[in-house]
Structure formats: structure tokens, C-alpha cells
Chain A
Amino acid sequence: MNARTSVCEFALNVVGIEKAYGRTRVLSDVSFGVKKGSVHALVGENGAGKSTLVKIITGVIESDAGEVRLNNSFVRFKTPTEARAAGVAAVYQDPKLFPHLDVSENIFMGAFPMTAWGGLDRRTMRERASATLRQLGVNLDLSSLVAGLSMAELQFVEIARALCHDLQILILDEPTSSLTPAESGRLFQIIARLKAEGKSILFISHRLEEVEAICDEVTILRDGRHVATRETKSLNRAALVQLMVGRPLEAMYEKRVATRAGREALRVERLGLQGVFADVSFTLRAGEIVGMAGLVGAGRSEIAQALVGMNPPTEGRVTLNGKIVTPKNPGQMLREGLAYLPEDRDGQGLITAESVVDNVTLPIIGTLAHLGLIDRDRGRRLAEEAVGTYKIKATGVDQIVSTLSGGNRQKVAFAKWLATEPSVLILDEPTHGVDVGSKAQIHKIIAELADKGLAVLVISSDLLEVLAISERILVVAEGRLVAEFSREEGTQEAIMMAATAKLEVADVGV
């Protein structure tokens, strides 16, 4: 490949990108190229490294090694603003717009065209903005406040904004996850137009049917490594999924020896939360570990949070230990015996600025007190016991939680919720952000808990983990329970196929 060809061919190249956080390697030697004027998909499981890669490309974080090349010249952006100025713009799920300003102001914020006497040149703004919107085929009133726009329109404004600043590469991160099928269709039309103008698109999505429909090429990342870059035409769904998850099933995780499951601890019937998930039914038995798999955004955490009362469900029935309960708030459900370890461990599960003992004793502080006066010694004894039981590596129960490693923090979280002696435990991504050694320990803890008679629901994006520790696996997709596998039936591919099965057809038209 001579120099001239490579200049013409690729709009963006990443070469040998490496990134590690401490001992955890997030990206290893990732290299691929996005051809000019093509729509290039980036797929991979949760945790494959996609978001990190995008952050490196747009300058939010720095890579440890490797290069990013734009039109074959080396670039290193320090801020997203720099990247945008060079023509690399990313549009995320959370719109970064100003609701109180109008469309044209949002498009030009930070780079307003000026008149001779220093004021805003609104006419130029209007002309350029409407030209851009026309280019995209979007019809929007430029003077309408962004607050009044729908989700799709917000994305269109962000795309228009990118276009107004000499866009070369547009990175779309899960763009259709908040859109209706009709809106997704419009988005795809916009993508088609951009492509026709020679812009390049990096399309990150879990929706494999969309990838198959509109993307020319697809790059698969797995566990931080580049697995393959192929033309989408050349892959069928099964092959794609295989590339995404196919790992030799070595005993990476110890398989739990299933014990006899006891009585029914939790029964969920046709649970629903308006606009979020619907018709979810399953049961948990004492002593059982059930895994809940699915893609990010499928609704798993939302189901758990509804059960726990954080966002009370609008339909359905929950029976806990034979008693019908109406989830209203977390405190109530804790008293009923249902504990939930949130996905955002540091932000919601623990109070990281406080000590181990303060964290562990908080949910049960009422029982550790006589007439309101806290029995400090009892609390400390409890915390010390927990440190021993869960093998928490800390200098003592007074150590501040934020100074512990991820795995140890997770163990503190376990200690905390288990101190309430629940009968049902829901764990949301329990080993996320935890080193391998601690992961094994946590699996052991989970197994021991089940052996003691707890019913455990493990929400996890780590398919190997789910397969290793669960007796049954529920798969959630788009707010619905789409499949249930027993341990024998479950394979990574089967789970992923179920998780990516298409429920609605987006109006594609590319």
C-alpha cells in the first residue's frame, strides 16, 4: 500500500492503542481503520473497550501507547474541543446541549460567527444552520428552545453542530437507544446523506440488525483486543456473535456445584414500569443463583431497581417469601428482606468518604442502638467480623473506603447489605471494576451465600461469569424477558443471540 493510497483510503486510523488502569488492561494493541465515506461499526460486549477507545480518539483521555491518525497524519487531541476543531466529533447518549438556548445558539456555542462590531452575526448563524439542517434533511425551527425538542431532535442538533465545524468523522455512541423506530429511520437517512458527502461515520451499537443494515464494515473488539474487521456483507449474525464472544471456555471461573434449591423466595409476575420494561416474570428459590444477562440498556438494572423500590413498578405483582409486597422505597424493601447492591458501587452503593465500619453499619443502625443511642462496640465487632469473613484487605475498620481497592470496596458493600440479613439478594455487576483475584473471591462469597439459603440474582455483563455461577440464566432485551436458559443449555453465543434478537424493525432505507 503506497502512501497515496493510504491517504485517500482511510479517514481515521488507530494504530497499536494501549490503555490500562492500574493492573487492569482495557485496550491491547488495537489497530484498525475507518475508510473515507464509509459507515464503520464498532461492536463488542460491555467492557470490550469501545467507550475507552472513543474517549482516546476524541481527546477525553490519553492512551498509554499507540497512535491516532487523521487522514494519515498523526494527531493527539487534548480536549474534545480540539478534536472537534480538527473534524472529529462524537455524539453521545446524554445530549450535551443547553436547554435554555435556541437551536442555532446551541449549534454555534463556543464558535459564534461575529459581526464587525463584535456582536453575534445571527444572520450568518441562521443561514449556515438552516443550510446544515437542510443538508441533513431535518426540519427544525432555529429559534425554538432546545428544551422543547424530542430526543431525536436533540441528536440531530448535535450532529448539525458537528457538521457546522468541518466534520470529517462522526462518532455515534449508541445513537438509537433512546429513539423510536421512526426516528431511528430518520437518523439512518441522515447517515446516508453524510456518507454521500464523503464523511465517515463510526457507529457504535449493540443493535446488530442496524449494524447489518447500514454499516459497510464492522470492527469487533473483545476484552480490549481487536478481533477482526470485516465487511458486514461477509458475516451472518451467528458468525458476528461468535467473533464477539467466542472464547475458549476454559475454566476461567470455577463452576458452582449446584445444591438443592429450596422454597420459593421471590416471585415476580408481569412486572412493568411504564416506558421502561414490561411483562417481566420469574422466580427465585432459596439457595439458587440466577443470572440476568443482556446488553447495557436492556433494562436489567431498571427491573432490579423497580423491585427494590427505587423506581416503583407501575404494574405487576411481587411476592417475597410468600407475602405480597408493593415496592415503595428501598428502606421498606430492605425491611422485607430484599437487598440490592447497585451497579454504581461508589456512587450509590457505598459512601466512600466514610469508614468501613460506618458503611457496614448504616443500614442496620437502628438495630444497633438502644433508644437511639448507638452501641459503638457492637458495630465495630460486626464490622471486624465482616472484615474477617470476607477477607477485606484494610488496615482496620476505621479505614476510609475510598482508599480501598475496587475488590475490597465491593466486599465492604457485600458486608453492608448482608448485615441486614436479607432473604433475597440482587447483585448488579458485582465484579465490575474488580481485579481477577478478587473476582474469584467474590464468586466464592456468592456461592457460600446461596449455600446458606439466600436467593441470589446476579446481573452481569460478563458472560463467562454468568455461565459459571448461575444455575439459570435470564436474558433481558429491550425491556422484556426474552429467554431463559438452564446451565446446561447456556452458551455465550446463545445468550448473546437472545440478547441481540431484534424486536422491532427500524425503517432503514439506506
Chain B
Amino acid sequence: MSAFEGKQTRVGVGEFALRMRVTGVLAFIVLLGAVFAMLSPRFLNPQNLAIIASNAAILAIVAAAQAVVLLTRNLDVSVGSIMGFAAYLTADYAARHHGAGVAIIGLAMVLGTLLGVVNGLIVAYAAVSPLIATLGTMSLYRGATYLYAHGRDVTSNELPHWMLSAVDFRIVGLPALPLLSALVVVLIALFLRRFAFGRQIYAVGSNPEAAVYYGLRVKRVTLFAYAFSGLLCGFAGLLYAARVGTVTVVLASGWELSSLAAAVIGGVSVAGGSGTVIGAALGALILASIDNGLVLLSVQEFWRMFIQGTAIVAAVAVDTLIGAQIRASLVSRRFGGVRA
């Protein structure tokens, strides 16, 4: 009996850890906030907090996009390039058609979705490793942006005024951008939780063999995950363009690492099936807080990459530990074992 009981508590820890993921991340944020507040009194300044929130807002959406792909046991390093492509083309279009209005948001999302679909086709249907596939498309999309741009930037005075001011908009004194981002993330979370397809995304990453056995269309789910991620990146790209004003061709380079770091810190597992987009968004908040804290403390920006990278390794280590316990719980013992 004892062998089994021991297994019981081990498994219990695994489930506990899974459940506690989001809470753990929240706790970490509080702790981080406390530390930075102690080190620099300006940290908790409402204006500063608003800056952190706005900085985190766009990353949160991209982190959520990355999370959706991670949940299916894949990953996407082309997110930055999708953002850049969608942002540039849409900004360029908007610059030339000032009267286009909010329809251009749709354009950005459609472009992003298309690029995401290409990713999904290569990974799901041609069975290419996700890293290689999205590494290739990352350069393709970025290169396509360059080719389209012919070396020109879209400067802020070309963009329609409403676009630029929209991001600075305030509702009840709070900046609109973080609120919008929170809304988007919550909607995604609801979709993943409330709709069959959302549950299938988790299922496919949680146990691919069982997914096949249950008759789930794994390829289709993977394709959808990438397409959806692309859509979100397109939208995020547009937001980013509106925020920075001048749209360069290198817009959002490097967001691959940040989005992955945010997602992983937020508790999304690289092995799939586990984690939430809300956690990923919180991870983005953590990264933004760290950046902000470093600036306030006059620490060099260089530490940022180091911290992000180390955070990924640490988060993956924790995740692997939890994952090993969960996998152990599913492997049947071939024989009853010795009951002594």
C-alpha cells in the first residue's frame, strides 16, 4: 500500500503546482513590486505604474499569442516578423488612405492570420519542426517587409491622427491600451475555456496520442493555433505601430524572445497542454516591471536580455520538474507491484 500512497502524494503535488501556476506568478509580481518599491520610491508612482502597464500591454497580447501555440506543443519564433509585416503594410495603407478608418484594423488582422496560416501549414501538414519552420518564415516575413518598404519608413506625420491618439486615449483616467489588452487576453482565455476548439488546443498538447485516439483533428487544431496567433500578432503589430508612431522595417525584432520569456515565466509549459494566457499576460507584466525597475535603478539595459534568458531557463526547469511528475502519473505500472 505504501508504494501507492507515496505515488498519490507525488501526483498531488503535481496537480497542486499546476493549479498554483497563476497564483504563483501573481505572488511573484507582488514580491517583485515590493522589492523594486523598496529600492526605488518612484516605482509605485501611479504614472510609473501606468507606463509599466502600457509597455506590458502589447507584449501581453503577443505573449498570449505565443501561449496559444505553446499549448499545442509547438512554438513560433516568427511573431516579431508577423507584427512587423502587418504593422508596416497597414500603416503604409493608412498613410495613403486617411479616410480608411477602423477598417484597417481588420487589414492588420487578416495579414497576420495569413502569415500564421502559412506557419501552420508548414508545421502541421508538412511535419516540419516548429523551430525550423518559424525560423525560416521569420526571415521570409521580415524580408518581405523590407521588399515592400523599399527602404522607407512610415513616419508618424503620415499616419492618420486618430490612430496615433487612440493609443493615448484614457478611460476614467486609466490608459486605454492596457485595458484593451486585458480585454483581449480575457476574451482569449474565455475562448480557450468555453469552446470545444479551445479545449482541443489543450488536449492536443497535453497528450497527442490520446488526441489521435479520440479522433481529434490534430493537424487542424495546430493550424488553427498558428493562424490565431498570427491574427493576434497582426493586431498587436498595429497597436505597436500606433504607439511608436514611426513605423520602421525592423519593428518588433526581438519580440520572439520576449514573448516566449513572458509566456514561460507566466507558467505556460513548452511541453504543451498546460498554462493560461492570463499567466502569459502576467508574465509580460513581470518583464515590463523588471525593465522599468532596471531603468529606475539606473542599471544598464544589458541586464535585461540576461534576465530574460535566465528566467526562461529557470521557468523551463520548474516546468520540466512538474511535467515529469505528471507524466509519471499516467504511465501504468505493468504489474500490481509488491504489496508487502
Mark A residues whose CB is within 8 Å of B: 79-81, 93-101, 105, 109-110, 112, 114, 118-120, 122, 144-145, 147-151, 154, 176-181, 272, 274-278, 296-299, 302, 478-480, 504
Contact = CB atoms under 8 A, between A and B. Distances in A.
A145 B206 CA distance: 12
Contact of A299 (B15, B326, B335): B335
B3 A274 contact: yes
Contacts of B207: 96-99
Given A277-B338, A299-B335, A96 B210 contact: yes
Given A95-B332, A99-B207, A148 B14 contact: yes
A105 B216 CA distance: 14
Contacts of B210: 96-98
Contacts of A93: 332, 334
B330 interface: yes
A147 B338 contact: no
A96 B213 contact: yes
B194 A176 contact: no
11 contacts: A98-B206, A99-B206, A120-B196, A122-B194, A150-B7, A151-B4, A177-B334, A276-B337, A278-B340, A302-B334, A480-B338
Nearest to A110: B214
Contact of B335 (A120, A145, A298): A298
A112 to B, nearest CB: 5
A181 B331 CA distance: 19
B3 A147 contact: no
Contacts of B19: 145
Given A112-B196, A478-B336, 20 more contacts: A81-B213, A94-B330, A96-B214, A97-B207, A99-B326, A99-B330, A100-B274, A109-B214, A110-B215, A122-B194, A144-B15, A151-B4, A178-B332, A180-B1, A181-B339, A272-B338, A277-B338, A296-B334, A479-B336, A479-B337
A148 B14 CA distance: 7
B136 interface: no
B329 interface: yes
A478 B196 contact: no
B228 interface: no
Contacts of A100: 18, 202, 205-206, 273-274, 326
B6 to A, nearest CB: 8
Contacts of B8: 150
Contact of A147 (B14, B195, B214, B339): B14
B15 A148 contact: yes
Contacts of B150: none
A487 B63 CA distance: 68
Contact of B199 (A105, A148, A278, A296): A105
Interface in B6-27: 7-8, 11-12, 14-16, 18-19
B195 A276 contact: no
A148 B11 CA distance: 5
Contacts of A114: 196
Given A94-B332, A119-B195, A278-B338, A81 B4 contact: no
B306 to A, nearest CB: 31
A75 B211 CA distance: 24
Nearest to A301: B334
B83 interface: no
Contacts of A276: 333, 335, 337-338
A37 B152 CA distance: 77
Contacts of B18: 100, 145, 147
Contacts of A112: 196, 199
Nearest to A154: B330
A148 B7 CA distance: 10
A180 B209 contact: no
A3 B329 CA distance: 48
A96 B335 contact: no
B154 interface: no
Contacts of B195: 118-120
B329 A99 contact: yes
Contacts of A178: 332-336
A101 B12 contact: no
B203 interface: yes
A79 B216 CA distance: 12
Contacts of A120: 194-196, 199
Given A109-B214, A144-B15, A101 B199 contact: yes
